[in-house]
Amino acid sequence: MHGVFPVGNSPHDHPGRGHPMSTQKEAPPEETLDPEDWESMRALGHRILDDAMDYLETLRDRPVWQHAPPEIKSHFEGPAPSDPEPPGKVYQEYLDTILPYQVGNSHPRFWGWVAGSGTVMGMLAETLAASTDAVSGAFSYQSNNYVEMQVLDWCKELLGYPRDAGGLLTSGCSASNLIGMAVARNTRAGFDVRGRGLRNAPHQMTIYCSDEAHSSIQKAVELLGFGSDALRRVPVSESMQMDLKSLKAIIGKDREDGLLPLCIVGGAGTTNTGAIDDLNSLADICAKERCWFHVDGAFGAWAAIAPGYRHLVAGMERADSLAFDLHKWMYLQYPIGCLLVRNPDQHRQAFSLTPAYLAHGEGDRGLTGIDVPWLADYGFELSRGFHALKAWMTLKEQGAAKYGRLIRQNIRQAQYLAALVEAAPELELALPVSLNIVNFRYIRPGTPNSRLDHLNKQIECELQEQGVAVPSIVTLRGRKYLHVAVTNHRSRRDDFDLLVQEVIRIGGELA
Amino acid sequence: MHGVFPVGNSPHDHPGRGHPMSTQKEAPPEETLDPEDWESMRALGHRILDDAMDYLETLRDRPVWQHAPPEIKSHFEGPAPSDPEPPGKVYQEYLDTILPYQVGNSHPRFWGWVAGSGTVMGMLAETLAASTDAVSGAFSYQSNNYVEMQVLDWCKELLGYPRDAGGLLTSGCSASNLIGMAVARNTRAGFDVRGRGLRNAPHQMTIYCSDEAHSSIQKAVELLGFGSDALRRVPVSESMQMDLKSLKAIIGKDREDGLLPLCIVGGAGTTNTGAIDDLNSLADICAKERCWFHVDGAFGAWAAIAPGYRHLVAGMERADSLAFDLHKWMYLQYPIGCLLVRNPDQHRQAFSLTPAYLAHGEGDRGLTGIDVPWLADYGFELSRGFHALKAWMTLKEQGAAKYGRLIRQNIRQAQYLAALVEAAPELELALPVSLNIVNFRYIRPGTPNSRLDHLNKQIECELQEQGVAVPSIVTLRGRKYLHVAVTNHRSRRDDFDLLVQEVIRIGGELA
CB A474 within 8 A of CB A480: yes
Facing A1 at nearest CB: one of B73, B97, B331: B97
Residue B437: which H helix or E strand, with range?
strand B437-442
Put simply, the answer to whether A386 touches B334 (Cβ < 8 Å) is yes
pLDDT at A26: 66
CA distance A456 to A439: 11
Q: Phi and psi (nearest 5°) for A319?
A: -65, 145
C-alpha of A461 from chain center: 25
CA distance A431 to A440: 8
Each residue of B139-178: pLDDT tens digit? 999 999 999 999 999 999 999 999 999 999 999 999 999 9
SS3 B503: helix
Put simply, the answer to whether B199 touches A194 (Cβ < 8 Å) is no
- A475 neighbourhood in chain B, CB within 8 Å: 356-357
Put simply, the answer to whether A142 touches B53 (Cβ < 8 Å) is no
Chain B interface test: which of A1, A13, A31, A32 (most B C-beta within 10 Å)? A32
Which whole number is the average pLDDT over B178-203?
Answer: 97
Residue B8 has pLDDT above 80, yes or no: no
Cis (ω within 30 of 0) for the bond into B335? yes
Distances (CA, A) of B55 to B59, B65, B447: 6, 14, 43
pTM above 0.90, yes or no: yes
CA distance A491 to A410: 8
Of the candidates B363, B310, B333, B388, the residue with the CA atom closest to the CA atom of residue B153: B388
pLDDT at A25: 54
Which whole number is the average pLDDT over A312-319?
Answer: 98
Which whole number is the average pLDDT over A12-40?
Answer: 68
SS3 B271: coil
- A393 neighbourhood in chain B, CB within 8 Å: 90-91, 94
pLDDT at B11: 40
Residue A12 has pLDDT above 70, yes or no: no
Each residue of B94-139: pLDDT tens digit? 999 999 999 999 999 999 999 999 999 999 999 999 999 999 999 9
For residue B250, name the pLDDT band (cuts at 50, 70, 90): very high
Which whole number is the average pLDDT over B479-487?
Answer: 98
For residue B93, name the pLDDT band (cuts at 50, 70, 90): very high
Q: Which of A196-200, B268-272, B341-345, B361-365 has the lowest mean pLDDT?
A: B361-365
Residue B234 has pLDDT above 50, yes or no: yes
Facing A123 at nearest CB: one of B131, B220, B406: B131
- B57 neighbourhood in chain A, CB within 8 Å: 34, 38
Each residue of A99-112: pLDDT tens digit? 999 999 999 999 99
CA distance A333 to B464: 34
pLDDT at A9: 40
Of the candidates A424, A421, A426, A454, the residue with the CA atom closest to the CA atom of residue A440: A421
The whole-angstrom distance between B236's CA and the closest CA on chain A is: 16
Which whole number is the average pLDDT over B340-362?
Answer: 92
CA distance B294 to B267: 9
Residue B50: which H helix or E strand, with range?
helix B38-57
Q: Alpha helix (H) ranges present in B169-243?
A: 173-188, 193-196, 215-223
Contacts of B189 (CB under 8 A, 6+ apart): B201, B205, B260, B262
The whole-angstrom distance between B303's CA and the closest CA on chain A is: 16
Q: How many C-alpha atoms does A76 have within 13 Å on its Cβ side?
A: 29
3-state helix, strand, coil in chain A (%, to 5): 45, 15, 40
Q: CA nearest B21 in A: which residue?
A: A420
Q: Which of A350-354, B193-197, B218-222, B282-286 has the lowest mean pLDDT?
A: A350-354
Q: CA nearest A148 in B: which residue?
A: B76
Facing B142 at nearest CB: one of A68, A118, A230: A68
pLDDT, averaged across chain A: 94
Residue A22 has pLDDT above 60, yes or no: no
pLDDT at B409: 98
For residue B28, name the pLDDT band (cuts at 50, 70, 90): confident
Which whole number is the average pLDDT over A384-390?
Answer: 97
CA distance B317 to B314: 7
CB A399 within 8 A of CB B85: yes
Facing A63 at nearest CB: one of B10, B116, B390: B10
- B368 neighbourhood in chain A, CB within 8 Å: 472-473
CB A475 within 8 A of CB B356: yes
Chain B interface test: which of A272, A367, A412, A482 (most B C-beta within 10 Å)? A367
Q: CA nearest B151 in A: which residue?
A: A80
Residues A427, A431, A437, A442, Cα dihedral to 10°: -20
Q: What are residue A485's DSSP bridge partners?
A: A437
For residue A221, name the pLDDT band (cuts at 50, 70, 90): very high
Which whole number is the average pLDDT over B179-191?
Answer: 98
Put simply, the answer to whether B382 touches A272 (Cβ < 8 Å) is no
Each residue of A417-455: pLDDT tens digit? 999 999 999 999 999 998 999 999 999 999 999 999 999
For residue B227, name the pLDDT band (cuts at 50, 70, 90): very high
- B153 neighbourhood in chain A, CB within 8 Å: 77, 79-80
Which whole number is the average pLDDT over B326-339?
Answer: 98
Residue B10 has pLDDT above 70, yes or no: no
Of the candidates B316, B347, B297, the residue with the CA atom closest to the CA atom of residue B160: B316
Q: How many C-alpha atoms does A157 have within 13 Å on its Cβ side?
A: 14
Distances (CA, A) of A49 to A36, A262, B1: 21, 50, 22
**Which of A503 and B359 is assigned the larger pLDDT?**
A503
pLDDT at B22: 44
pLDDT, averaged across chain B: 94
> Per-residue b/e over B377-401, b at no fewer than 16 CB within 10 Å?
bbbbbbbbbbbbbbbbbbbbbbbbe
Work out whether the CA dihedral B200, B205, B211, B215 comes out positive or negative: negative
pLDDT at B130: 98
Start-to-end CA distance of chain A, whole Å, equals 68
Q: CA nearest A377 in B: which residue?
A: B219
**pLDDT above 70: percentage of residues in chain A:** 95
For residue B9, name the pLDDT band (cuts at 50, 70, 90): very low
pLDDT at B356: 83
CA distance A38 to A35: 5
Q: How many C-alpha atoms does A393 have within 13 Å on its Cβ side?
A: 31
Q: Phi and psi (nearest 5°) for B110?
A: -95, 115
CA distance A35 to A30: 14
Residue A208: which H helix or E strand, with range?
strand A205-210
Facing A76 at nearest CB: one of B85, B96, B146: B146
Residue A130 has pLDDT above 80, yes or no: yes
Put simply, the answer to whether A127 touches B123 (Cβ < 8 Å) is yes
Each residue of B63-85: pLDDT tens digit? 999 999 999 999 999 999 999 99
Residues B125, B175, A358, B271, Cα dihedral to 10°: -80
**pLDDT above 90: percentage of residues in chain B:** 91
